[in-house]
Structure 1
């Protein structure tokens, strides 16, 4: 593996891409520590020290921003508005004919959809930035912080608008940096920035577990978490790479005196076809009622029930609801992202067929049958992985940012595998051995 790294940096164009990507990552992490104008940074740091294990309702967004959200920096919103906008556009493609037509137009249509995603990202950044500033002004951003209401000393309209504009511009810069990595670096830029944001919180979360441990000064809990983390990574890699390969045979065709076709290939159906999207959907959906209850300021029975069952994240009602939502969204996302009828029609058009299955409708029914069967273990796997931080919160008394589990481990392993594969493919183009054998 070290030899493969050395060969990657010895290749001029690949070395240039790797160094460019590393440079963008450095800029991204620097921006995550530049505070927004109008913030009393000393009070923010005091609240961060008092509530390291309590991130309330903003835990998910704070994880995607690499901890920049609770520090209220210029990159506080991070990549989350772009992720949300991409998911919304992907869902709207199914229900809006205009977007579906653009998707079928190829590269030009995809460029249009990308432009719409940018506009929606800016709109969501304005909305989320306004909500964050309002929360910081009200003093409810940090729980049980003595100076929580003094984070924004000047609460004038001008300062508020300046803060919102700064954070929106920061989101636009993050989006631009991600696109620069995609165009001139290695891998998908947005995915890599997401990877870096999540990985930046790993050392702090692991050290917090050691400090909170009670056996052997916390080193036993720390070692146990490391071992469990390695096992989790191995499990995620195994399932993420698992796929059902459906064989496809193409009939021979005579064009003039030449014979075309007659090749064999396969359709790879992944066990986790939906990726990490169901976990993000379920987390966002459960985030809404807790947010409404918090900002309503009401002592009504419904608000108290929501606060008791959904805010802490370790209540049985929350755990069961979270698990069922992940399973539901896994089937839902697979249904909208993979169309068996369209795949069957394309196979029939080019003379392809599955051995033993008639072309057309029987092929679509067979693909649906196989897809439903492999989605069940994939959805249950997602639900169990997502509940690992909750189990750690109860058993190890760890903080809510338990690193090895949930959305974080799925994204880190997935992005890491894809990036390594891209570097490996470029090495193999130059007749070098890659990272994987």
Structure 2
């Protein structure tokens, strides 16, 4: 306890770090206040939205703003969609690849294109949200007038959320976009714990404590999955520059066990409505189609979770293949005078890295699939659906990743000021510093 108090004193003794933490809290407060403001022309007492599937996941990311018809109902998600689209275009089109290699100027142009695309994505999603989600009985004004006004308000709300994320990154602590998503998820945790405690009653106190202990170990497992890396040794050749001999050092190339992050779960979740939709078209004429529709309507059935797991494994390999390029890594190593001991530079190095990556991606994909279906298992064990969502899936992985990144930045400030780090056992490793070779 004394060490914890000392660490907090050290954190707030650094003027810059203290200012960044206070700025982050201020921006987060603005986001949460905006999430509670309902769109003009909507009667919140007549809203009875209970989004399921992908929409339910979106509502979790936004801290309930989606189901409340808030001015931040779309939140930062259109910007995430636009960023993913630009990332895929960067991998597929030479024009975007060239722009990415132009350094800071190229990144600024890509960011500008992403912002413009975000406005277009937001407009399309806003119209869809207004038309399909807000019921007529909840409107206090004409539907046409409400559609036009809400289109501008939702677009402005998304732009404001995007601005808040950028301000958190520049003036606060942590990655702003990820921080906003995490806050939306965490905002539901106290209510979920309270609801679970009420459902257990006084006679189920021991069982509730065991559930909290289980949640703790699940979080520790998610930390292991996020942090685990396979380190490949890299030897740098000695070079004579002037009168000095540089190089000759051994560094490590860390390949993450889960290089794809949460994207496979998001992609798989987006496709899980297809079996229910297709089977529903033939449900009246076919008993088999009706049974398929019933099996995939609930996320707790074994059929749903089996297909969900297979899609996650497939998307993990796919996303890892497009995000980690062994050929480019081998070329960069060759240009910097590095080589893997016992492996020839060039083609053999890229093949070696690709082989190692394939071997660690399979167990990583299986572990990611297990984490994704843990909420369904928790729900089958009798936990409330709100509390069960925190036992795995995208929500847990995002929370763990953002917290680790934030702690890494805090520790870097402490170490620069010659304070002790956050942990005696070693440095806190976020997602960022485990994806690059240490300098």
- Cα displacement (A) at 1:257: 4.0
- What is the DSSP-based 3-state SS (H/G/I as helix, E as strand, rest coil) of the residue aligned with 1:70? coil
Write out aligned runs for 1:342-381 (5 A).
342-381=328-367
Q: Aligned equivalents of 2:159 and 2:387: distance in 1?
A: 27
Match of 1:170 among 132, 150, 157: 157
Deviation at 1:216, TM superposition (A): 4.2
Once the two structures are TM-superposed, the CA of residue 222 in structure 1 deviates from its matched residue by 2.8
Task: Report the alpha carbon displacement of residue 412 of structure 1 after superposing the two structures with TM.
Answer: 0.5
CA–CA separation in structure 2 for the residues paired with 1:300 and 1:171: 44
How many residue pairs match? The answer is: 419
Helix, strand or coil: the match of 1:357?
A: coil
Consecutive unaligned residues in structure 1, runs of 5 or more: 140-148
> How far apart, CA to CA, are the structure 2 residues paired with 1:321 and 1:415?
28
CA spacing shift, 1:297–1:219, aligned 2, 3 Å:
farther
1:126 is matched with 123
Equivalent residue for 1:4, pick from 7, 12, 15: 7
Aligned to 1:406: 393
1:25 paired with 2:28, answer yes
Deviation, 1:150, is 1.7
- Aligned pair partner of 2:305 in 311, 319, 329: 319
CA-CA distance at 1:260 after TM superposition = 2.5
Instruction: Give the match's secondary structure for 2:233.
Output: strand
Describe the shift of the 1:335–1:33 C-alpha distance in structure 2 as closer, same or farther (beyond 3 A).
same
Where does residue 432 of structure 2 map in the other structure? Answer: none
SS at match of 2:26: helix
Contact persistence 1:85–1:121 (CA under 8 A): yes
Deviates more, 1:242-251 or 1:75-84: 75-84
Q: 2:173 aligns with which of 137, 162, 186?
A: 186
Q: TM-score when scaled to structure 2?
A: 0.89
1:408 Cα deviation after fit: 0.8
Secondary structure of the corresponding residue to residue 359 of structure 1: coil
**Contact kept in structure 1, 2:235 and 2:338, CA below 8 Å:** yes
Taking a change above 3 Å as real, the CA distance of residues 305 and 70 of structure 1, as seen in their structure-2 partners, is: farther
Q: Quick one: distance in 2 between partners of 1:57 and 1:242?
A: 28
Render the CA deviation track for 1:106-126: whole Å, top value 9, x for unaligned.
211111111122122222222
Aligned to 1:207, which of 176, 184, 194?
A: 194
SS in 1 for 2:391: coil
Distance 1:41 1:289 in 2: 33
Report the CA distance shift for 1:69/1:221 in structure 2 as closer, same or farther (over 3 A). Answer: farther
Residue 256 (structure 2) pairs with residue 270 (structure 1): yes
**Distance in 2, Cα, partners of 1:84 & 1:300:** 38
TM-align CA RMSD:
2.4
Q: Gaps (5+ residues) in structure 2?
A: 425-439
Distance (whole Å) between structure 2 residues aligned to residue 12 and residue 35 of structure 1: 37
- Equivalent-residue separation in structure 2 for 1:430 and 1:121 (angstroms): 39
